[in-house]
Amino acid sequence: MTSKHNWTFFRAGGFDQVKLESGSDLMNLEHLDQTLWVALACPTSGLEIDSRTLEMIDTDGNGRVRVNELIAAVKFAGNSIKNPDDLLLGKAELPLASINDASPEGKVLLASARQILVNIGKRDAASISVADVSDKVRIFSDTAFNGDGVITVLSADDAALMAVILDVVPFFGGEPDRTV
């Protein structure tokens, strides 16, 4: 497939490389001839970029990010925000107003961001940061279903069910809950 996108190149290391300087460049990566890519894979560790980010992009878990995985991640990110140029800003926070709630992915992302902010006590925040989403224990510790699989009295929504939980746990034993 030929790309109608106008690419900008620069010369480094003895060969021409594509310069990614706009959201449009990123969103058109799938159309860039792979013979022009500097690398077709990179390891998920040992680079300057955050290894956790690379591990999330590495969907097959083989320890390497390949072209198709990078393109899928860029498409997801670019379609989830209103302006793909924002992907290149390098800001520590994402304004909630920047999330594309017109796309299905964006709707889920915005709802998730808002719920996380509520869970961590930042209900009225206008943006979300990597720090806000990094601590899963903090995000879920005060919720009825906090992801640890332990059912507590807080999980019940009526008095009868609460009574059953209180009766069963001492009899069969329980597991520590993430909230305690």
Question: For each of the chain's 180 residues, which pLDDT tens digit applies?
Answer: 456 899 999 998 888 889 999 999 999 999 999 988 888 899 999 999 889 889 999 999 999 999 999 999 999 999 999 999 999 998 889 999 999 999 998 999 999 999 999 999 999 999 999 899 988 878 877 776 766 777 777 777 889 988 988 888 888 877 777 665
Predicted confidence at residue 97, as pLDDT, reads 97
Question: How far, in Å, CA of 71 to CA of 1, rounded?
Answer: 15
Question: How far, in Å, CA of 178 to CA of 17, rounded?
Answer: 49
Q: Is 149 helix (H, G, I), strand (E, B) or coil?
A: coil
Burial of 99-110, coded b for 16+ CB within 10 Å and e otherwise, reads bbbebebbeebb
Which tokens is 40 given? 């077709």
Return the C-alpha torsion angle 85, 90, 96, 97, nearest 10: -30
Q: What is the pTM of this model?
A: 0.75
Predicted confidence at residue 117, as pLDDT, reads 96
How many angstroms separate the Cα of 35 from the Cα of each of 7, 18, 32, 38?
14, 11, 8, 8
Return the C-alpha torsion angle 139, 143, 147, 150, nearest 10: 140
Predicted confidence at residue 118, as pLDDT, reads 94
* H/E element, 161: helix 159-172
C-alpha Rg value of the chain to the nearest Å: 22
Predicted confidence at residue 150, as pLDDT, reads 77
Predicted confidence at residue 146, as pLDDT, reads 66
Question: How far, in Å, CA of 9 to CA of 139, rounded?
Answer: 43
